[in-house]
């Protein structure tokens, strides 16, 4: 019993390693989890004291517990049985597929990550890149939303900066939960996005079991009162205009909703517009090709970032014009359905109409519209006159125009300067014309406000 036993060094290391893991899992890890859980509860209590809509317990649930709750949900269980029968596989195989989907979808929200540095970085980045302006905003209508209702922000999708911009602007109200596409499922971005409360979706998946698991997660989050942000267009606009709704996530929320039984859902339309969309040329290229293949390369992103840093150090950096966000009138799903409107399509169309109505009009879209209408050649005086007429036309239809310094002349100057810096517009003897080969870029920006321009029959 007390004899000396000789072991190879590798065997001793393995034994010590397994012993350390066992000790940690039984004694250390529970106490560490308790310590961080207590710390998180204090952070959440502090954050909730200043939020208009406190973080709901559903959002704070342990990720493992949420996954278990999702895969053992009766509707998911039935979907597993149906999938096994349709595909001719054992139910335990279908169950493991559902578990994998749940692990992929369910986020791991961290209040420290979201409010500690996430919203601060979002604010810094937004103001560093753009001159951010708040457009239409009915404070009384927003504050009048039933505190027990689930709030869902519904937005047009112009740029990936939308996530950053709205996260910051909504930071005083609640923590938003986004649906994020597969592009973000890369290390280390994946863990960061999960900690911000976002959940990943496979936009093009037609797998019935996956769609059922995703639908139940969205429904459970909605029933749990989680404030969400949804892009009904289903992706970035390729031509710059506000697109018709795709009803994926909206259909999950609307289909099983019963006005007199479920917690009310209040949709808040948000319209976003930019003087410069960071991905504009990538989107235009995809639009020309007739597909949504963006040819994304991380090396291109790094080149863009380093170029901007070089401009900062050499004093040549200019912010990318204005970015504006407008809030439309909230829409109660219960009231909408009681008024006789049924189905996701009616909801989606009504929300997109509200987004279009409050979309902010900025200098670059105004100047781009005028240049295109003038066949690409106009004097500065004539351009200012046409911009003024265009603003009056939009204002007659109750459009929301952002006039920097409350000056039409300055708005025209800002729009021209932005387009000239990007070499999309040339000036020759006091005449401004569209640079050859850049008509598509100007159309991209003009399309963002095209629906606001009243056209006589």
In 3D space, the residue among 297, 290, 204, 166 whose CA is nearest the CA of residue 239 turns out to be 290
- Looking at residue 330, what DSSP letter applies? -
| Residue 155, strand partner residues | 270
What pLDDT shows up at residue 81?
Answer: 94
What pLDDT shows up at residue 439?
Answer: 93
Distance of alpha carbon 444 from alpha carbon 363, whole angstroms = 14
Question: How is residue 161 written in tokens?
Answer: 């900066």
Distance of alpha carbon 445 from alpha carbon 276, whole angstroms = 8
Question: How is residue 273 written in tokens?
Answer: 């517009």
Q: Are strands 150-155 and 265-274 parallel, antiparallel or unpaired?
A: parallel
CB 274 within 8 A of CB 365: no
In 3D space, the residue among 128, 187, 197, 194 whose CA is nearest the CA of residue 161 turns out to be 128
- Name the CA dihedral angle for 13, 14, 17, 21, rounded to a multiple of 10 degrees: -170
Phi, psi of 195 (to 5 degrees): -65, -20
Residues, the chain, total?
Answer: 457
How many Å separate Cα 290 from the centre of its chain?
Answer: 23
Report helix, strand or coil for 370: helix
Distance of alpha carbon 152 from alpha carbon 309, whole angstroms = 36
Count Cβ atoms below 10 Å from residue 224 Cβ, excluding itself.
Answer: 15
Q: Are strands 150-155 and 199-200 parallel, antiparallel or unpaired?
A: unpaired
DSSP string, 378-420: EEHHHHHHHHHHHHHHHHHTT-EE--GGG-HHHHHHHHHHHHH
pTM: 0.85
* C-alpha atoms less than 13 angstroms from C-alpha of 434 in its C-beta half-sphere: 18
Q: Which residue has the tokens 């902010």?
A: 360
How many Å separate Cα 58 from the centre of its chain?
Answer: 21
Domains annotated on the chain, with CATH: 104-278+320-358 (3.40.1130.10), 363-452 (1.10.10)
pLDDT tens track, the chain, 457 positions: 567 767 677 777 877 776 776 665 555 555 555 444 555 556 556 655 666 677 777 777 778 889 999 999 999 999 999 999 999 999 999 999 999 999 989 888 877 778 877 888 889 889 988 999 988 888 888 888 998 999 999 999 999 899 889 888 887 777 788 888 766 666 666 777 777 788 888 877 788 999 999 999 999 999 998 899 999 998 899 999 999 998 888 999 998 888 888 889 999 999 999 999 988 998 999 998 887 776 656 556 567 667 767 767 776 667 899 999 999 999 999 999 998 888 899 999 999 999 999 999 999 999 999 999 987 689 999 999 999 999 999 988 788 899 898 999 999 999 999 999 999 999 888 899 999 999 999 999 999 999 998 554 4
CB 318 within 8 A of CB 419: no
Report helix, strand or coil for 76: helix
| Residue 363, strand partner residues | none
What pLDDT shows up at residue 182?
Answer: 66
Q: Which residue has the tokens 């034994």?
A: 15
In 3D space, the residue among 254, 259, 266 whose CA is nearest the CA of residue 145 turns out to be 266
| H or E stretch covering 400 | strand 400-401
Distance of alpha carbon 225 from alpha carbon 150, whole angstroms = 5
In 3D space, the residue among 365, 339, 350, 356 whose CA is nearest the CA of residue 418 turns out to be 365
- Looking at residue 290, what DSSP letter applies? T
Q: Are strands 228-230 and 177-180 parallel, antiparallel or unpaired?
A: parallel
In 3D space, the residue among 375, 367, 445 whose CA is nearest the CA of residue 408 turns out to be 367
Distance of alpha carbon 247 from alpha carbon 265, whole angstroms = 16
In 3D space, the residue among 164, 180, 162 whose CA is nearest the CA of residue 105 turns out to be 180
What pLDDT shows up at residue 191?
Answer: 74
Distance of alpha carbon 230 from alpha carbon 155, whole angstroms = 6
């Amino acid at each position: 019993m007390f004899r000396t036993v000789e072991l190879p060094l590798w065997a001793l290391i393995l034994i010590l390693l397994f012993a350390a893991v066992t000790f940690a899992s039984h004694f250390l890890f529970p106490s560490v989890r308790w310590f961080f859980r207590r710390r998180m509860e204090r952070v959440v209590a502090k954050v909730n004291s200043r939020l208009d809509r406190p973080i709901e317990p559903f959002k704070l649930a342990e990720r493992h517990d949420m996954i278990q709750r999702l895969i053992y949900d009766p509707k998911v269980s039935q979907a597993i049985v149906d999938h096994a029968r349709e595909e001719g596989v054992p139910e335990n195989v279908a169950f493991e597929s559902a578990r994998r989907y749940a692990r992929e979808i369910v986020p791991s929200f961290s209040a420290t990550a979201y409010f500690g540095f996430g919203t601060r970085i979002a604010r810094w980045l937004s103001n560093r890149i753009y001159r951010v302006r708040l457009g239409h905003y009915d404070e009384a209508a927003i504050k009048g939303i039933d505190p027990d209702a689930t709030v869902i922000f519904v937005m047009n999708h112009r740029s990936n900066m939308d996530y950053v911009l709205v996260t910051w602007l909504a930071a005083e109200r609640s923590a938003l939960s986004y649906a994020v596409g597969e592009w973000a499922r890369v290390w280390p971005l994946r863990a960061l996005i999960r900690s911000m409360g976002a959940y990943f979706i496979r936009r093009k998946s037609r797998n019935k079991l996956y769609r059922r698991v995703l639908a139940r997660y969205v429904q459970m989050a909605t029933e749990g009162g989680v404030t969400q942000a949804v892009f009904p267009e289903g992706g970035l606009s390729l031509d710059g205009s506000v697109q018709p709704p795709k009803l994926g996530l909206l259909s999950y929320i609307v289909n099983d909703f019963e006005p007199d039984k479920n917690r009310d859902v209040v949709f808040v339309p948000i319209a976003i517009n930019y003087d410069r969309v960071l991905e504009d040329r990538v989107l235009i290229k995809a639009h020309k090709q007739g597909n949504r293949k963006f040819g994304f390369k991380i090396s291109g992103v790094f080149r863009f970032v380093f170029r901007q840093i070089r401009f900062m150090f050499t004093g040549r950096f200019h912010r990318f014009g204005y970015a504006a966000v407008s809030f439309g009138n909230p829409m109660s799903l219960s009231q909408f359905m009681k008024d006789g409107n049924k189905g996701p399509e009616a909801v989606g169309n009504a929300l997109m109409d509200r987004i279009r109505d409050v979309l902010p009009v900025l200098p670059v879209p105004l100047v781009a519209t005028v240049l295109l209408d003038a066949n690409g050649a106009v004097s500065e005086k004539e351009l200012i006159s046409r911009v003024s007429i265009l603003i009056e036309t939009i204002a007659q239809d109750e459009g929301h125009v952002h006039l920097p310094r409350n000056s039409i002349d300055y708005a025209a100057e800002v729009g021209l300067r932005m387009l000239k810096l990007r070499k999309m517009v040339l000036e020759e003897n006091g005449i401004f014309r569209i640079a050859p080969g850049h008509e598509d870029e100007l159309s991209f920006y003009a399309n963002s406000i095209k629906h606001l321009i009243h056209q006589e029959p």
